[in-house]
A = this chain, B = another copy of it.
């Protein structure tokens, strides 16, 4: 890994208007008021596309934009000088990127595209007027931040306390459910576009050990996962193995 950083290419042509945003159709999102919808529509200045492997936001850099993922997967990670890296979280459609650079001046981690990605682009200098004029949207953003804190805490518990098999089960089940929540999975199947190296860098084990543990898990027949195709054969057992990860709450907000 991987490709070099590439500047966002804003595509003003063929931009999805927020009024027809496919994510807003999902029952897991609340409805906007007409005023909020108008504000968000004006807040969005375009879309940006990144190819798999490209850097969306670089660590320690400021960014003039806030993004939401419209389509595709991204990965948030931090690297140490010697090449070790830790994946912090994944971003799926509907997730917010760049809040740190908006709030804390610069990114404290990098964000890379995991698949080809389309993002909605919002200029961060208008974030303040969002807080001033649309407390409901401000509340949503805070809600999202609180929820991500909760996800990070769950990852921390997993990495700090659980065995290799438990961590793998936890991660795959969590990602499967997040994919399902935004309509990217049916009953038992989803595309989870990670390599085993991503998996290893998320759960805090070496690639070799991750592979061996994964092989054992697969032999147990609880799920299959190859070529990014994940199929869940026995959710109850995987749920057991994962140490009972919390169900996703019904999310209140959108952006």
Contacts and interface: CB of A to CB of B under 8 A. Distances in A.
Nearest to A87: B160
What are the 5 closest A-B residue pairs judged by CB atoms, nearest first?
A: A160-B204, A145-B145, A131-B135, A103-B146, A152-B152
Given A78-B153, A156-B152, A84 B138 contact: no
B159 A156 contact: yes
- Copies in the assembly, this chain: 2
A89 to B, nearest CB: 8
A88 B204 contact: no
Contact of A146 (B86, B104, B202, B244): B104
| A: contact size bracket | 35 or more
Interface centre among A85, A108, A243, A249 (most CB of B within 10 A): A108
A213 interface: no
A99 interface: yes
A32 B76 CA distance: 34
Interface in A85-144: 85-86, 88, 99-100, 103-105, 108-109, 128, 131-132, 135-136, 138-139, 141-143
A157 interface: yes
A155 interface: yes
A149 interface: yes
Contact of A105 (B84, B154, B249): B249
A1 to B, nearest CB: 16
Contacts of A216: none
